[in-house]
A and B are shown apart, each in its own frame.
Chain A
Amino acid sequence: MDATSARANDKIQEIIAELIDKPGALLPILHEIQHVFGYIPAQAIPRIGDALKQTAAEIHGVISFYRHFHTSKGGSHRVEICRAEACQARGARALESHAKQALQVDYHQTTADRNISLDPVYCLGNCACGPNIRIDDDIIGRVSPEKFDRLVDGLNTVSLQIR
């Protein structure tokens, strides 16, 4: 959902109301908001704070602690490259530099066409089949630079609807 849309604030309140009764509700709320909007929109922070009787600074403090949460809109797809040792042993360092070169971005940046955000990740638990990357919710193993290019091509292909 677009965070600037008229319904966005209602949706945020709806998510908060649904999860607030869980013990330790903050992480479940943040996960759900990010799931719906793709990131945690700024207007959500004081609303969560009000519901949990915490300050906006406290909520922000939690969000900023966790790598998984984002406070700005990323690309249409999130690509994470595993930097951990088991993938390093299978060529992850070369893949990292290839990916940055191919996408013309560094980690924590989004491509100029706003299609792909590139992030590091520390272990996807597929350590016998590295180098591994994650594209949105899919984990992909044995990613050579060539395979990376093919996968990115797939993300850049816009499906045309023929009327």
Chain B
Amino acid sequence: MTTVIETADLAAAYASGPPALSGVTFAADEGQAVAVLGPNGGGKTTLFRALLGEIAVVRGTITIGDATAYVPQTERSRLDFPVSALDVALMGAYARTRWYRRVTAADRASARAALERVGLADQARTRFGELSGGQRQRVLIARALVQDARVLLLDEPFGGVDHASEQAIMDTLDDLRADGRVLLIATHDVEQARRWDRVLCVRGEQIAYGAPADTLTNAVLEATYGPEIVMLDCGHRAVAIQHHHH
């Protein structure tokens, strides 16, 4: 297995402030999905922005062997814009389109293929804002595929989607893993985190990293979520409940 993404003692900061996240050391191989688990404001987005090169790395190193794409939460985008699912997928080609040129026919074909891959070929002309939350999430994943990204940073991809949509997104993500892509999935849902190959727990700094069974212990979860956490022990399953701050 080839290691695609790796950090060593990574610390990242906004502007000239103190590090918002520090001590992050993890590695992910081809085809692995890593849940990035932590409370809101715990540093999940900070980690993504550091991996994307958008904020300063003040200590440690990042090694990424492949193109990386960010898949934001869909409600962060303007749902009233007159853009179709295909238009949004095509945005993945903007970076390689010179300012004086139109998007190429090859990129259009690639956007259509990406929508087909996430199961939305028949919705290509539908306005983005009229799709369901889960469908929008899959369009944004298609956009990352048009970017030719081998590493996908997904910000709460299951936030606010119903069960059927969640399954459709899971299928899409499994398909991408089978293809050797690396997925980092930010979530504050412990049960969600259990489904993936690795879990990285963060709360301002790295709390733990490893396979879910080894990592998601009561001690680690308490350190991740702090005293606010309510632990419900249902057999082997610990469920973390916390207040949402947006």
Same complex: no
